């Protein structure tokens, strides 16, 4: 009986964490700290810890951003053409 109660408690805790998604919130906070914090260049150890936290909470997007950080921007689309309608063409 104790095993069943423990299993149900573990499943309920896993479900609760899955719904709450604390790693997403923690990853968003670390991303905000790295991008928009005013004194981001003053502490390299702080940056390393935040980057490690971001890598642990969202590894796929972090590695993708790291690999493609120096890619050239995508090409621009064609220029917009504006028709000039005069009274004679109507």
- Looking from the CA of 90 toward its CB, the CA atoms found within 13 Å total 3
Query: By the 8 A CB rule, do 51 and 66 touch?
Result: no
Q: Which of 36, 33, 37 is CA-nearest to residue 54? A: 33
pLDDT 10s digits, 46-90: 778 778 887 887 788 888 888 888 889 889 999 998 887 776 665
Query: Is 0.75 surpassed by the pTM of this model?
Result: no
pLDDT 10s digits, 36-47: 766 656 677 777
């Amino acid at each position: 009986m104790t095993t069943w109660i423990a299993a149900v408690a573990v499943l309920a805790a896993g479900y609760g964490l899955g719904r709450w998604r604390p790693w997403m919130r923690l990853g968003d906070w670390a991303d905000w700290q790295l991008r928009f914090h005013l004194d981001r260049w003053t502490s390299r150890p702080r940056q390393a810890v935040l980057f490690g936290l971001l890598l642990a909470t969202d590894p796929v997007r972090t590695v993708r951003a790291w690999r493609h950080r120096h890619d050239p921007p995508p090409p621009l689309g064609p220029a917009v053409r504006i028709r000039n309608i005069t009274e004679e063409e109507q």
